[in-house]
Amino acid sequence: MSEDASVLVVGAGPTGLLLAAELHRRGVDCLLIEAHSEAQHWDRATVVHPRSLEVFESLGIIDPFLAAGVRQRLVRLYSDGTVLGEIELSNCGSRHGYNLNLSEEITESILTDYLHQQGGEVNRSSRLTHFETGPDGVIARIESDKTREASFDWLVGCDGYHSITRQLMGIEMLGHDIVEPWAVFDTTAAGWTERYDGNFGYLDTPPVIVTALPGRRWRVYLRPSSPDSDLVTDATATVGRYHPTVTFEDVTNPARFHCHNKVAERFRAGRVLLAGDAAHVCSPAQGHGMNSGIQDAFNLAWKLALVCRGHCDTSLLDSYEAERRPVAELITNEGDMAEHLQAMTDPAGRRSRDEGMRRTFSDTGSRHHEIVAEAELDFDYGASPIVVGDGGGGIGPGARLPDTIVLQLAGGEERPLHEVTSGAGHTALLVGGTSASHEELADLHVSTAAASEPPIVEAVVVAAARGDTRDSWATVDPSTTELLGIEAITLLVVRPDGYVGLRADRDHLEALSDYGRRLGMGRSSAGS
């Protein structure tokens, strides 16, 4: 175990694996420790949402995910013998118009390979037992084959709901336990006549969720009818009401479990941060738990790397909590609502619930909102202290850059915009609309390149609406500039996590300097 590292990451689940890999990719040495002696062989988490798939694509690791998983395009809900409504994820607004279903241990395996590609490793049978913090770092006690102490600049707890990191920090989890237990099992469904690429929720008693797995298997989640009930019998009683010929066969991995809806009161205390289930836990009803941890890691990694390498002040890390904690609160609030709706037993209440859900699914706007929320594409960092600029009539600061925009490069090759902006650093994107002066755009290109400070800004890309453009510029369809609300010249600074940090429709260079100040560039990073 090498202890010569800037960051100690505790916990090698999806959150810790991705965080450690992304730090290594940016040249930050980190030590990743995991208490378990070997990787888990099965885990109940299943769904990878479109936003997480966008992350994996930007890292160049989406192919093994697509090869291992099954695409889930449909979500359909039932109650009282009828269909309440459904959503098709192809309308979510991402190139990945589907959830990808695969068991979490496969996700961890792929992320472990990615970590190895970046030069990192998982140090197993290694447990954090104590740490002390100071203004310049953390002294951590680690137990493995022997007890040792080591110094780190930063410590990040990705060690789950029972996080020893959070406990040693003295940070409380705010929220509540979910009283009624959940259960799960994997199975084949003989006699199944519905679509296979779906997630089917049955809001009866007991409620059951059936979601596709690779190999034409299914993962069945349910609320058991009693503490000692037979899980297959419980699920069959509900699903059989809609599919009388279905039988669950070759059942594996039956388990009961308890859940919680809680958010840590803080995500940062000095030199120590929390991410993933160590920072927030939610109902499994909507499949946001693992995915939100992946977003935590992707948000934190580039910020922590800039601080570790001395490019930005430690105040930049305050934006991690400012951006990610509201997302955690939103997810847990939605989880509470899902739990409430699912657990209803009063006949009048259930009828009112069902009618309300029918109205939601029949209204185009409400249905689209549900689609985007399921895909995790509805999160916005517009209130963040580090985003700045003009709202415009289209994409604004703090918004996710859509992955559906296509550029035509100077040589004629077409390439998705998000591929051009998916580096380890920021990308300054100068977009000229239909009324842009190409001379002004050319001058601004030179000035922006000169004013940009690597590694904050890794690349400057110019894209002009189709017309007379320079040899090195890309072109973009005028309908795209209209969609983005761009008429003349707009500077978009795209963060490494794919969100817009800056939008400037005027005073572009002044706005770029202001954005640098927001990130804490040029200030001492010695404080905490």
For residue range 57-67, list pLDDT tens digits in order: 999 999 999 99
| Domain match, 270 and 131 both | yes
| Domain match, 305 and 167 both | yes
Shortest CA distance to 294 belongs to which of 503, 25, 497?
497
Shortest CA distance to 309 belongs to which of 21, 119, 30, 19?
30
| Domain match, 489 and 402 both | yes
| Domain match, 146 and 284 both | yes
Say if 362 falls within a structural domain.
no
For residue 427, the cross-strand partners are 459, 494
Residues 207 and 194: their CA atoms lie apart, in Å, by 18
Q: b/e for 180-213, b at 16 or more Cβ within 10 A?
A: eebbbbbbbbeebeeeeebbbbbbbebbbbbbbb
| Domain match, 299 and 151 both | yes
| Domain match, 139 and 23 both | yes
* Count of domains forming the chain: 3
Say if 167 falls within a structural domain.
yes
Residues 373 and 225: their CA atoms lie apart, in Å, by 30
Question: What is the predicted pLDDT for the residue at 285?
Answer: 85
**Residue-averaged pLDDT of the chain:** 94
Amino acid at 339: E
Per-residue pLDDT at 525 exceeds 50: no
Say if 357 falls within a structural domain.
no
Per-residue pLDDT at 452 exceeds 90: no
Question: What is the predicted pLDDT for the residue at 412?
Answer: 85
Contacts (Cβ under 8 Å, ≥6 apart) of 357: 77, 79, 84, 85, 341
pLDDT tens digits, residue range 385-442?
999 998 767 899 999 999 999 999 888 899 999 999 999 999 999 999 999 999 999 9
State which residues form the domain around 132.
7-46+103-172+265-343
Contact predicate 14/298, CB 8 Å = no
Say if 1 falls within a structural domain.
no
Say if 20 falls within a structural domain.
yes
Residues 210 and 46: their CA atoms lie apart, in Å, by 11
Residues 343 and 212: their CA atoms lie apart, in Å, by 23
Say if 75 falls within a structural domain.
no
Which of 206, 237, 260 is where one domain is finished?
A: 260
Say if 200 falls within a structural domain.
yes
Strand ranges in 30-114 using DSSP code E only, listed in sequence order: 30-34, 47-48, 70-72, 74-79, 82-88, 99-101
Per-residue pLDDT at 254 exceeds 50: yes
Which of 191, 226, 260 is where one domain is finished?
A: 260
| Domain match, 15 and 123 both | yes
pLDDT tens digits, residue range 340-366?
999 899 999 999 999 999 999 999 999
Question: What is the predicted pLDDT for the residue at 2?
Answer: 55
Per-residue pLDDT at 1 exceeds 70: no
What region, left, alpha or beta, does residue 172 occupy, with left being phi > 0 and alpha being psi -120 to 50 degrees? beta
CA of residue 155 relative to chain centroid, distance: 21
Contact predicate 436/465, CB 8 Å = yes
- The CA-atom distances, in angstroms, between 15 and each of 232, 294, 301 are 32, 5, 11
pTM value is: 0.96
DSSP 3: -
For residue 202, the cross-strand partners are 78, 208
Question: What is the predicted pLDDT for the residue at 528?
Answer: 41
Contact predicate 63/153, CB 8 Å = no
Q: Is 369 exposed, middle or buried (0-12, 13-18, 19+ CB in 10 A)?
A: middle
| Domain match, 254 and 301 both | no
Shortest CA distance to 303 belongs to which of 496, 24, 527?
496
CATH assignment at residue 393: 3.40.30.20
Residue 511 structure tokens: 């706005």
| Domain match, 508 and 402 both | yes
Strand ranges in 265-393 using DSSP code E only, listed in sequence order: 268-269, 272-274, 280-281, 388-389
